[in-house]
Amino acid sequence: MMFFLLTGMPTFSQIVNSWDGYPEFEFPPHGQYRLLNLFINIIYESTPDPSPCTTCSWPMASTEGINNESIPAYLNTTHPDLLDPDFIDEPSVHGNMTRKYYESSFGDLILLGDYVVVNIKQSTVKPNNETFNVGELVQACVDLITSNGVLSTLFGHNSFSQYNTIDDFEVDFLQVCITDL
């Protein structure tokens, strides 16, 4: 009976393979895409830091702002280890994610990225020492980023259109990294 159900499935449903992309959003598995990477550093000024780290590669911040201090060393170079900010040619591919997707697609898929480091006070997210969840934290960071009306990234890819290749008025890819929560 199980064999019949497994072999019969393709006749009743459409087969979708990863190499076909994601058709519902018209996202093909080839081309060049830029990911927006949000690095969030929470400044605990109201309560003690729940997991302080004195030897971390991402130092704690003391001043709230965007790209103003405590930028992780692995982002503060011309070739970040995660995603390359620009693509020139195959030998220039350095970032781990950029290289992985570039090589596994035989050069058809190029993932690039730029970074925004947000140092945000605990009280900016939630006043009165209230606890908050990841969604509230990310929303508070987006509000802080957009408060001056301009996107400011580490490598200067500040145009919204660079992150909206599907042309639906939304950022296609957003990765969020948080020091601790």
Average pLDDT over residues 90-108: 89
Residue-level pLDDT at 20: 57
The residue among 146, 32, 36 whose CA lies nearest residue 88 is 32
Cα 58 to Cα 56: distance, rounded to the nearest angstrom: 5
Residue-level pLDDT at 19: 54
Residue 160 pLDDT greater than 80, yes or no: yes
Average pLDDT over residues 90-99: 87
Residue type, 92: S
Lowest mean pLDDT among 8-12, 49-53, 57-61, 110-114: 8-12
Q: Give 156's pLDDT tier (boundaries 50, 70, 90).
A: very high
Domain boundaries, the chain: 31-178
Q: Give 94's pLDDT tier (boundaries 50, 70, 90).
A: confident
Lowest mean pLDDT among 3-17, 74-88, 149-163: 3-17
Calculate what percentage of the chain has a pLDDT beyond 70.
Answer: 82
Angle, alpha carbons 47-50-54 (nearest 5°): 105
